[in-house]
């Protein structure tokens, strides 16, 4: 079987592959080169080498549930098939009790992450979201909560009359672990 560096076709990445193969940490300049590299197969070979060295054939994954607390949304983006206006057929808003029941069932099934997003519903105050997060954490303290896109956070702040920073601080205190966002999770 070929050694890792001999499988790399991109000359600029071969030096990095040598370091990775020998177990030498890559430099900041190497990291910038990796970020800018277009040779996706070479990047895959290098990362796969590290993964096998650390974990062999084992693979790990999170068991996640999606929770969409309301589809009532003020914004009504033209591309969105999920949202409804208040009072429209199919419009819904989950109570905190509904959410608690769903999370309890998911936790019993082994779920360890909950992903929460919803419409921009003017009825909902920040206290609803804080209580939602607290109840999720109470059900399973280790449950990781990824919740509320940037547009939701800004909307909550505006409705509450407080800054985005204060909104995030209160949500983090209540249990928020991360924000989702189109493949750019924070
Ligand atoms: S903000 Fe989200 S839920 Fe509301 S209409 Fe746009 S995509 Fe749909």
Per-residue model confidence (pLDDT) at position 60: 85
CA 155 to chain centre: 19
| Among 131, 123, 126, 135, residue whose Cα is nearest residue 71 | 123
Buried b (16+ CB within 10 A) or exposed e, 74-86: eeeeeeeeebbee
- Residue recorded with tokens 């939701």: 152
- Is the CB of residue 80 below 6 angstroms from any atom belonging to ligand 1? yes
User: Which two tokens mark 137?
Assistant: 């954490």
- Is the CB of residue 85 below 6 angstroms from any atom belonging to ligand 1? no
- Is the CB of residue 72 below 6 angstroms from any atom belonging to ligand 1? no
Burial of residue 154 (number of CB atoms within 10 Å: 0-12, 13-18, 19+)? middle
| 8 A C-beta contact, residue 34 and residue 26 | yes
CA-to-CA dists, residue 62 to 136, 143, 179, angstroms? 17, 11, 16
- pLDDT tens by residue, the chain, 186 residues: 789 989 999 999 999 999 999 999 999 999 999 999 999 999 999 999 999 999 999 988 889 999 999 999 999 999 899 999 999 999 999 999 999 999 999 999 999 999 999 999 999 999 999 999 999 999 999 999 999 999 999 999 999 999 999 999 999 999 999 999 754 444
């Amino acid at each position: 079987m070929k050694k890792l560096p001999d499988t790399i076709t991109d000359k600029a990445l071969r030096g990095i592959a040598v370091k990775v193969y020998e177990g030498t940490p890559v430099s900041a300049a190497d990291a910038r080169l990796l970020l800018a590299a277009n040779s996706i197969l070479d990047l895959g070979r290098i990362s796969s080498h590290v993964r096998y060295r650390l974990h062999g054939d084992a693979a790990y994954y999170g068991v996640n549930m999606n929770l969409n607390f309301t589809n009532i949304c003020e914004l009504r983006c033209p591309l969105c098939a999920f949202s409804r206006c208040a009072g429209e057929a199919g419009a819904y808003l989950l109570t905190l009790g509904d959410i608690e029941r769903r999370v309890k069932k998911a936790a019993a099934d082994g779920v360890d992450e909950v992903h929460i997003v919803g419409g921009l519903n003017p009825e909902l105050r920040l206290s609803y979201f804080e209580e939602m997060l607290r109840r999720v954490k109470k059900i399973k303290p280790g449950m990781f909560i990824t919740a509320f896109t940037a547009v939701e956070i800004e909307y909550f702040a505006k409705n509450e009359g407080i800054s985005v920073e204060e909104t995030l601080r209160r949500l983090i205190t209540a249990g928020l672990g991360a924000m989702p966002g189109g493949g750019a999770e924070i």
